[in-house]
Amino acid sequence: MVAVTILLLLASPTIFKNVVGFSETKGSESSEIKISGNLHPSNVMEVKIVAKKDDRPQILSKFLSSKNSPMAKDAKELVEIADKYSLDYRLLPSIAGVESSFGLAIPSGSFNPYGWNNGKYYFKNWVHASEEVAKGIRVRYIRNGPANPYVIGPSYAANPNWAYRVDRFMTSID
């Protein structure tokens, strides 16, 4: 978006001449970009980009801690895994909330808060579980496009209320 804006400004003499100062903000959950610029007498535009700190790991850690989840210490890694597989960072923790009360009710030593393989799959740790389940969701249920509980729910869980329950947890994380 930034490159397109700059190219349009440079390509259009009318727009370029009329821009004395401009400001554009593009925001998302994880970052915010502010662009501001001024024309110098030499017709060179100065562009300043400021990124907002990603506070999702802190938000997730605080939420999981409030649920006494053993996964809270791995919040940063959970966000990174979600980003790696283009998932909403709240999806996996919310699935864990529905399936195992955020990792509190799992088969001993399984590190399987997601009910993966009907709860019979054993992982090395919470991060390993999250990595494998995120990859599995992306490969098994949704190859492309947004992954939301209503899309994956009919295949992931037998309970018809599963998606609604996951969605409620997702909403409560922020």
User: Which H or E element spans position 25?
Assistant: strand 21-27
Inter-residue contact 34 to 49 (CB < 8 Å): yes
Tokens of 135: 């990859």
Residues 70 and 10 in one domain: no
pLDDT computed for residue 22 by the predictor = 41
Predicted structure pTM score: 0.71
79/159 same-domain check: yes
Give the number of domains in the chain: 2
- pLDDT higher than 90, residue 2: no
Give yes or no: residues 84 and 146 share one domain. yes
Q: For residue 67, what are the CA distances in angstroms to 5, 33, 103, 170?
A: 44, 33, 10, 14
Domain housing 19 = 2-51
Claim to verify: residue 93 and residue 150 sit in the same structural domain = yes
Considering the domain architecture, whether residues 63 and 102 belong to the same structural domain is answered as yes
**pLDDT, the chain, mean:** 82
pLDDT in tens, 105-156: 999 999 999 999 888 999 999 999 999 999 999 998 887 778 899 999 999 9
Distance CA(115)–CA(99), nearest Å, equals 6
Query: Do residues 141 and 155 both lie within one domain?
Result: yes
Q: How does DSSP classify residue 101?
A: T
